[in-house]
Structure 1
Amino acid sequence: MINSQDVDTAKKELGRKLAGWRTTRKLTQLDLARSVPSSRSTIAGVERGAQVVDHTFWARCDALLRAGGELILAYGRFQELERQFQAERAAGAARARWGDIDTWSRQIAQSGYGAVPDPVARSTAAGCAEISGVPNDLPGVAFDDMRRRTLVKWGATAAAVASTGVGRSSVAHAGRVGAHDAERLSKAAVRLYGLDYRHGGDSLWQAATAKVNDGYAMLEQGTYTGTVEGHLLKATGRVQMCAGWLALDAGEHTIARNCFTDALALARQASDREVETATLSYLALQANALARPREASRFASAAENATSTIGGPPRLGAVPQLRKAIASALMADQSGTDTAIRLARRVLDRDGDKPTEQWCTFLSPAELDGIEGTCAVELGRTTQAQTLLERAIAGYDDRYARNRALYRVRLARARLTAGAPDGAADAANEALDDLAEEVASWRVNAELEAVAHQLAAYPEIPAVAGFLARYPSVAGPQ
């Protein structure tokens, strides 16, 4: 069992590593803060082990201090330790609240979900219910506001959920498999994407892996024709790709990478260039999120090559360009960014009014504004960034609450850079509104945490004080 002292010790060791590399490079805390960018008090707090910051901070410090990946790896080890601690604590709290686990598990089994060996798996059961269309009102368990909130929060306890075995295939003997089975699997991916746009990946990725395992069970244990095999390979590849995306949005990067690797293998077995293109684009997105823009650019180029050989669903050709745009901005390549955005807009102008696959429906003028605004933030074009991000936010309704929350956080960052902490607090507070309505996304939370740390330098501003008072209960570190 991991205890809080273990986490505190690991946090302090991580801080000592940062201080060691900073000293080696003969930089003061203020020097490093100006380069990250951050505040001197944040650097000091991290080095004391008193403050937690996100992956972006560590990636930038590693690059600035030429630590060769040591700081990123150390942060990854700390994050895994903390995740396990939170998972164990959540499991204990769940057992205390729900009492007789065997009785609860039998109730779930009777409702058609199959045996559930641990209450931490409740989020997976609920997620599978929404995907399959089964009602969420489980026997003896009221689906109240607390349970909805729990679904979101427990989605982050990935280690505990994975250890329970929930998500393994419910198809013990697949028997005869037909085209309708593959179609049901494809529809599950469609439903998952729709839920993701509204809620984020934290509360959904385990349910996606359960559907993936159903696909593999049918492939390995079922009886089917050659035509059905092709449909089943494509459907399983689509769900596997979706599971990877949801895990990425939940911050489960190793799981996401494994899902993407398997999705590529399935796509190539099925000669499905659409899934191959989309999966390579997701890998580029992940690389950008992990501050590896050169890798992202390579994946985006591979995706562009794949999509150039197919007709593909409308809008799909814009996705590699958007990944290239972000990668170029992270490398301070203004010309590369502008070219990629221009090409993406050209695709959307051509295909924007055509029906498309579910994973492409997010591609709208609002999304392109959001991506271009994000690039402008990275390139220091704060006025342009604010205009674009405000336009992106206005273009999203509640069906895309996760994307809206993400761009509200980035707008807050742009306003901070422009020297407007009160406006930044307003945008950050609006992001909290989305999070309070059951958006659970590692990407949103990680970026909002960085903004919160910066806003902490302005506690005398009423809007900032209001945000800081609200932040811990809605989105702060658990």
Structure 2
Amino acid sequence: MSDVPGRDGRWLPLGRQLARLRVAAGFTQHSLAPLLHYGRSTIANVEVGRQRAPRRFWERCDEVLDADGQLVAAFDQLQRLRRETGGRSWAAQGFSETPQVRLLQLEPTEEQEMRRREFIRATAALAVCGAAPATSTTGRRISLGDVKEHARRTVRLRRLDNYLGGADTLRHYEAELRATMSLFNTASFGSSTAKALLALLAEQTQLAGWAAFDAGDHAYATALFTASRPIAVQAEDVALAANALALLAYLRASLGKPDIATAEASSLPVSADVNPAVRALLYDRLAFTYAVAGEEKRAGAALNAAHEALSKARLDTPPDWAAWVDHDEVQIMTGRVWSELRRPLRAIPELEVALRRLDDAHARDKALYSTWLAESYLDAGELEQAAAILDRSKRLCTGVGSPRPAIRIAVVRKRLPPYQDEDAGACREVSL
């Protein structure tokens, strides 16, 4: 990263475009910094043309702001212009102002603008919470007991995820999130109640993000996961803040775009006082990212850490959002990780045992996880067994409001030439 004395007019339009995209996405420079893995001052200097940034900075901005490569394309064009002019400033070439340089695709298309509006809607919670005082004196007075009642409703709603897909649950989670936001904006409460409300908002935002991810709306899910982290930080809930990053990394890895930096940023120090289930969940998702990236040694170490975390007894109960993490869940992830790494002799025993214990009532999860078992049988050369598992997965996910099992079935089925023409679309198609 190199500093530029004063302002360099060539780079100012690109910096301003970053500022526009950042504001449209609902970020402050402070909240965007940890997601880019750059400091707030760097973002501020880049936006006003005082500092140049390398290409990897713009790649990260495009990814986090969902800008479809606009900023990288503009950066590349400016680099070409700089080479053509020998690196001289515009003033040195006799221009009093920056020439009209057409930055590639800086004006969003109609489709991109719609997605950004969805992003703004998703990050409304961040805007509300970021501007809120530690205590509120407006409206009726509420206590921690009131917040706990709202939290109990969220616990009951979360149980829907065991049996329904995100297309069915998202509207319920959004409604509960709106109710909590309304309470936060209109009620009166003390500082301890404020923290509890913020933690609940962060948790509900992540729950809605999970449903959006499960329903196939990845841009909306990314927005919700991103919005939840600053809320959790303000609530001083380190576990929820870490989970926001873990969810983002898991989403990207599931799309075949492993983001190791974000996954590793979700790790908590050994000194952090969190329940073992939380730590196991974070290691679980980190292992999956490593596996998709082909990092076998690091994936294995993360899995070992997840198993070790669950072996430590604690008297306290885990938070509800991590209470489902047990030895069976870690065993399933262990099988998925070894399957991703094309190690069928390690993957098959883990998946066979764990899936046998998973009730068919959990149809989406069982159908989805079984696709990794089928893939491992393919890697082991057992085509007929793989085909039988895929057929069972297809039957299981019929009517489930999530496209994820069907997508995985289709991906694995492509490796079975005799079965390519069979319909893998029995899982309910979701209109997004």
> Helix, strand or coil for the counterpart of 1:204?
helix
1:380 to partner: Cα distance: 1.5
By how many angstroms is 1:69 displaced? 7.4
* Residue 111 of structure 1: aligned partner: none
Q: Which residue of 1 aligns with 2:413?
A: 452
| Cα pair distance change 1:383/1:440, threshold 3 Å | farther
* Counterpart-to-counterpart distance in 1, 2:277 and 2:153: 22
Residues 356-388 of structure 1 deviation map (CA, whole Å, 9 limit, x = unaligned): 222223322222222121121222212222222
The verdict on how the C-alpha distance between 1:198 and 1:351 changes in structure 2, with shifts beyond 3 A counting, is farther
- Equivalences for residues 315-464 of structure 1 within 5 A: 315-351=277-313, 355-398=317-360, 400-436=362-398, 438-455=399-416, 457-459=417-419
With structure 2 as the length reference, what TM-score do the two structures score?
A: 0.63
Question: What CA distance in whole angstroms lies between the structure 2 residues aligned with 1:274 and 1:209?
Answer: 22
Q: After TM superposition, give the deviation of residue 174 of structure 1 in Å.
A: 6.8
Check conservation: 1:413, 1:424, Cα contact below 8 A.
yes
- Of the three residues 263, 272, 283, the one matched with 1:300 is 263
SS in 2 for 1:209: helix
Q: Is contact 1:421-1:458 (8 Å) kept?
A: no
Quickly say closer, same or farther: Cα 1:477–1:401, change in 2 above 3 A.
Answer: closer
CA distance in 2, matches of 1:174, 1:259: 27
Higher helix share: 1
| Matched residues, number | 303
Residue 398 of structure 1 deviates from its aligned partner by: 4.3
SS in 2 for 1:212: helix
Long gaps (5+) in structure 2: 1-67, 71-109, 122-137
Once residues 195 and 314 of structure 2 are traced to their aligned partners in structure 1, the CA distance between those partners, rounded to angstroms, is 29
Q: CA deviation at 1:239?
A: 0.8
- The one-character-per-residue Cα deviations of 1:328-353 (angstroms, maximum 9, x if unpaired) are 22222221111111111101122499
Partner of 1:287: 252
Distance 1:308 1:240, change over 3 A: farther
Provide the rounded CA distance (Å) in 2 between the counterparts of 1:354 and 1:413: 38
Q: Please, which of 132, 143, 162 is the counterpart of residue 178 of structure 1?
A: 143
Q: What's the TM-score, normalizing by structure 1?
A: 0.57
Tell me whether 1:191 sits opposite 2:156 in the alignment: yes
Secondary structure of the corresponding residue to residue 192 of structure 1: helix
**Does the 8 Å contact 1:315/1:351 carry over to 2?**
no
List gaps (5 residues or longer) in structure 1. Answer: 1-67, 71-79, 85-158, 163-172
Name the CA shift for 1:234/1:372 in 2 (closer, same or farther; >3 Å): same
Offset, 1:253? 1.4
Q: Quick check: 2:279–2:306 contact (8 Å CA) kept in 1? A: yes
- Do the aligned partners of residues 244 and 257 (structure 1) sit closer, same or farther apart at CA in structure 2, a change above 3 Å counting? same
Aligned-residue offset at 1:477: 8.2
2:308 is paired with a residue whose SS is: helix
1:213 to 178, 185, 188: 178
The whole-number CA distance in structure 1 between the counterparts of 2:385 and 2:314 is: 33
Cα distance in 1 between the residues matched to 2:430 and 2:375: 19
- Is 1:472 matched with 2:391? no
Partner of 1:118: none
> Aligned residues: percent identity?
24
Distance 2:293 2:414 in 1: 24
Q: Tell me how large the CA RMSD over aligned residues is.
A: 3.0
CA shift for structure 1 position 451: 2.4
2-structure distance, mates of 1:206, 1:432: 26
Distance 1:352 1:256, change over 3 A: farther
CA deviation profile, 1:278-317 (whole Å, cap 9, x unmatched) = 2221112112112222x2x222322213x64431223111
Q: Once the 2 structures are TM-superposed, how far is the Cα of residue 433 of structure 1 from its aligned partner?
A: 3.2
Task: State the 4+ residue runs in structure 1 displaced beyond 6 angstroms.
Answer: none
| Alpha-carbon displacement from aligned partner over 1:232-260 (angstroms, at most 9, x marks no partner) | 11211111121112211222111111111
